Structures are given as structure tokens and as C-alpha cells.
Structure 1
Amino acid sequence: MSQSKPQRRLPTGKLYAIADIHIAFPANREAWSKLTRHPGDGLVLCGDIGETIEHLQLAFSTATRCFDTVWWCPGNHELYTLPTGSSVRGEHKYEQCVDVARQYGVFTPEDDFIVWEGQGGPAIIAPIFTLYDYSFRPDEVTLENAVPWAREKDTEATDEFLLHPDPYPTRQDWCKILVQKFEAKLEAAKAQHPLLPFIIANHWPLRKDLVHLKYIPRFILWCGTTLTDNWHERFNAKVVISGHLHIRRTDWKGGCRFEEVSLGYPRHWKDCADMDMGVNEILREILPGPETPEGGELPTQWRRYG
């Protein structure tokens, strides 16, 4: 993996985020092409840009043209090895994506965490990569029976066929290595900046209780790991950004704001499109963002847009 460091101007304005832009879909690709310029602002791309290097190039070229600084963390779709595409698999596919990001000056989980000095700062922007380990499951379901349990309700992630864990034996093993890696990186940043809050960005939700899938509840298996359940507390997170669920929501837990910022497949933002809204309206303001509520807790806010 290339060790060259991104050279980007650090913003003084606002920080925005969006996930799951899935530009393989023509409607999403057209919507992304209409991203407006945000001089002085930063953007977090929180995974699931697309499946190919060409998807990444298109997304990064547009994002870096419109925002002063861009951060990216991978989703499951970036890690796919398609039957008709490149044969690069697993960790090597991730490394290839990191190299593409660096060509555009996009910060990745492999780069040093940056201190945000713009509006709502100072804070440490920490994009991470954890994957999942099937631990988001009922207590009575064993690890061995987890995927068969999901199949009972005709639920199975495409990851089971396209997301390979090479060189690790399983995705659970890869997840464990990643959790250890980014746990250590967050600890080191906390030791270096003990008084600063974190903005943690990870494609998969950090907490099981933030996954609500009304129509496909057993898809929860592929939505994260219980190993990260208390990271927002351990690392003094001001905001945790995630995607993956294609259900935009804001939650407050102990004074920490959790933001699910997905665009999703075209059907997931059709109501916005019907109102002539697109990615510019769905972009979520992370910093400075809303004031922390009294007591640090609020009921879930389900968001149609922004």
C-alpha cells in the first residue's frame, strides 16, 4: 500500500457526511454529479460508494472538487470481488481502495487522524474500519447457526458470496484483527489529545441497539460487532457517523450523537426525489450540528433528508 500522504487544505467551515451513495445505480450517479460546491467545508464519505475502482474514482473526483477536505472509510460494497471484474480479494481489495483515495488526496482509516479546527471544533476526525462478526444476534442463536437462522426468513447478505476475507480464514477473524488495530489507533490518539472529543466514522453501526430493520430484521447479522459497543464512551465521541442501514436516523446516547447518513438505493430516497431533493438535501451536517440536549438523551429522530 502506498505510504504517500494526502495533501489537502483543512477546512474552517462545516463538516458534512453521507454514506451509501451506490453510484453503480444510474439515478444515484446522476444525483452525485449534482453535488454542489462547499468551499471551506469538509465531507465524510462513510462507505458503500460502489463496487469498482471506477466508482471510487468518480466519487472521489466529484467530492474533492466540491469540498476542501474529504475523509473516506470503506463499506462492504467497496470490498466486493465481482465475478466479471478484477480478481483482487479481501485485504488487497481494501488496500487498492486506499491507494485510489490517496491519489485524490482523500483521508482514509490508514492515515493519521486529523484535528478538526473548523466550526464545532476542535475535534479528532477518526475514520475507522471494523467489518462485522455475526455477534449482532439473539442470545439463543449460536455463531454456527447464525447464517442458517437468517436464511430461515429468506435473508442472506450478498457479502456471503462477494466479500472474501483473504488472507484471513473468515470475516470474523478479519473483523477481530481490525477491531484490535483501530482500538489501538484510537487509544493512541486519545493519549496524544486527552481533552479533545472524537468524531468517529465507521460504515457499520458501533452499537446493536441502533439497528432497526423492520422488514429484514435478521439482516442485523451483517451490521456490526458487539466489540465496539462502548467505543463512543471510551473515546469521548462527540458524534459517531455510520451508514449501511439505508435508514437515516439521529440518536442521542449519553450526550453522544449517532448519525446514520445513508443515501441508499434509489428506492430508499425516492420520496426525496419526488420532492426534487437529492444528495445536497440529504447531506447531513455533522459539525457544528445541533446542541446537545439536556440530559444527553432524546428519542430516535427518523430523517427523510438532511
Structure 2
Amino acid sequence: MSNSPETHQKRKAPTGKLYAIADIHVSFPSNRTAWSDLEPHPGDGLILCGDIGETIEHLQVAFSIATKCFDTVWWCPGNHELYSLPSGSSADVRGENKYQQCVEVARLYDVLTPEDDFVVWEGQGGPAVVAPIFTLYDYSFRPSDVTLQNAVPWAREHNIEATDEYLLHPDPHPSREEWCKILVEKFESKLEAAKSRFPSLPFIIANHWPLRKDLVNLKYIPRFTIWCGTVLTNDWHQRFNAKVVISGHLHIRRTDWKNGCRFEEVSLGYPRQWKACAEMNLGVNELLREILPGPETPQDGEAPTKWRIYG
């Protein structure tokens, strides 16, 4: 299969459904094979919610297949796209430069990114503003008695440490938390501007990291939460009239309702994490999450968490 963007049709305005998936990690051969089995969805749209892979080649593989199967594709970065590796086409490309390199690849495939204007979804379940964003994390998903300086040592006490500490560089910013602050301010302003432009429309906000700390439930690695978001976005679903908030990163598929807003964690995950699905002949086609039109809102806008092991 050629990954050249010249072989793909330009995106069209979808009239069907909007789907999302995250953390497809095509660096794993079995995940790449599964992604190559993605079926055509004429008339539909797809949001890729981060952690496609670590290299430009991984993005090319993912975008090549996605844009052949869906009329419009959106992408927002995860931590893995931002990794700086010692070799390959992105060798030693760090921080903002690595992100911009990813954005340039997306644009070659006509994939919409957080750097593009938000567009209005006019397909089923619309109209709604589709808003892919990029916020990173600032270690604020930590207990109140743990200081910022002690956050990473606190996690290390339980032998937990994100690879980000070695491969995700914040250049030219002095730290990841400072980069996060700048990104939050940037996308807060962009969402405010879009809200002013489309005051009557609901938003579909897509971000790799969860917007709320209370949606991070990591039973086996609880101290990994410090790499999972920022408290600065806790109320964004209300401030920006979100109908749905989409995230990945946790590799734990779930649906939550807060204040009438649906929160969807849409990860595929590493091969071992969706092995049970694969053994039931459930692949990426079955694990795509329908975002719009989606289910009806609960009567009081709240509902217990639905753990979606098989879809």
C-alpha cells in the first residue's frame, strides 16, 4: 500500500456519522495490521485522538488508511507523537518542532489538526463544532499533599515513571508544565473565539488527555495520574457548551456523563490490552466509538460510568 498523500481523495463534508478512536499505536505490528483492516465509511468522519505512533512514518501509515476510509479526518497529538527518538526521520527533533512536524504531515493528507480552524459538523447529530485541542499535562493530577517538585519522586516510590520523562522534551519551553500552561491559554482563547462565533452550537472537544481528574481511574498504576492532564481544564465542558468530550491516553475505554455532557475514552491500546477483543474477532472496526449522533442524554444529565471492554 502506498502512503503517498497524492493517492488520496481530498476530504469532503461528511453527511453521516462521526466516530473516534485513540491510541492505535501502529508501531506494534499487530496494531498496524489491525488498522490496515479499517473498512470504508463513505459519508462519515473520524477523529484520531492521539498516540498514533512515535514517528512520521507511523503518522503516514495511519493517515493514509484513515483518509481512504473516511470523508474527513481530524487528529490531535498524544504524548507518543511528541517523542524525540535517536534515529529516523525525526531524529533529535524536539518539543514544539516535533509537534509542528506532525502537523505538516497531517496537512499533506488533508487531516485537520488543532492548528486549523474549528469546523461545523453538519452530519448526523449536528450541527456541532468539532474542536481538536492539545493541552499536555502539568502534574496537577496529584494529591493535595504532594508538591509539584515531589510529584515525579512520589510516583517513583511505586516504581512508576512515564517514558515522557526521557523522550518528551518541552523545547523551547523550560518545562513540560510551562508548555502545558501556554497550550491551555492558547486553546482556551481559541475555544472562546469559536464560542463567540457559534454561540448556539454545542461543541465536540477532542483532546488526548482527559479534561477532568475525576475521570482518571488507574487501578493498577494509580500514581501515573500525574501524567494524565491538568486541573486547568476541569470545567471546560461547561464553559464551552460541550456535547461530547473525547480523550484517550488511559487505554481504558469508558463512557461517563457529567452535567449533561458525555465523556468518551476511546483508546484501542497496546496489543495485550485489546487481546480479549481480538480473540472475539473484534478489531478496530468494532472498537471505533460513535460520537455523533450517539446515545440520548440521560434525563438528569448524569449516569454511572459504563466500562466498555468490548466496544
- Does TM-score exceed 0.5, indicating one fold? yes
Structure 1 partner of 2:264: 259
Any residues of structure 2 matched to 1:103-114 within 5 Å, and which? 103-114=108-119
**Partner secondary structure for residue 300 of structure 2:** helix
Give 1:8 shift.
2.0
Instruction: Identify the residue that residue 17 of structure 2 maps to in structure 1.
Output: 14
C-alpha distance in 1 between matches for 2:10 and 2:115: 15
Residue number among 44, 54, 73 corresponding to 1:51 in the alignment: 54
What residue in structure 1 maps to residue 39 of structure 2? 36
Unmatched runs of 5 consecutive residues or more in structure 1: 1-5
- Residue 72, structure 1, aligned to residue 100, structure 2: no
Q: Return the match for 1:170 from 167, 175, 187.
A: 175
State the shift of 1:82 in Å. Answer: 1.1
Give the aligned residue type for 1:148: P
Partner residue, 1:129: 134
CA RMSD between the two structures: 0.9
Give the Cα separation in 2 of the matches to 1:259 and 1:78: 21
SS at match of 1:204: coil
Contact (CA 8 Å) 2:11, 2:67: kept in 1 or not?
no
Residue aligned with 1:304, SS: coil
Matched, 1:81 2:81: no
Give the TM-score of the pair, scaled to structure 1: 0.97
In 2, Cα distance between the equivalents of 1:144 and 1:103? 40
Q: CA deviation at 1:7?
A: 5.2
**Percent identical:** 79
Count of paired positions: 301
**Cα shift at 1:258:** 0.1
5 Å matches for 1:127-206? Answer: 127-206=132-211
Question: C-alpha separation between the residues in 1 aligned to 2:11 and 2:118?
Answer: 13
What is the distance in 1 between the residues matched to 2:166 and 2:201? 41
Structure 2 unaligned regions, length at least 5: 1-8
In the alignment, what sits opposite 1:3? none
Cα deviation, 1:246-290, whole Å, max 9, x if unaligned, reads 000000001000000000000110010010111001000000000
Query: TM-score, with normalisation over the residues of structure 2?
Result: 0.96
Displacement of 1:119 in angstroms is 0.2
Answer yes or no: is 1:298 the counterpart of 2:311: no
Distance in 2 between residues matched to 1:159 and 1:278, nearest whole Å:
28
Structure 2 counterpart SS, 1:239: strand
Q: Which amino acid aligns with 1:125?
A: V
Distance, in Å, in 1 between the alignment partners of 2:172 and 2:160 is 27
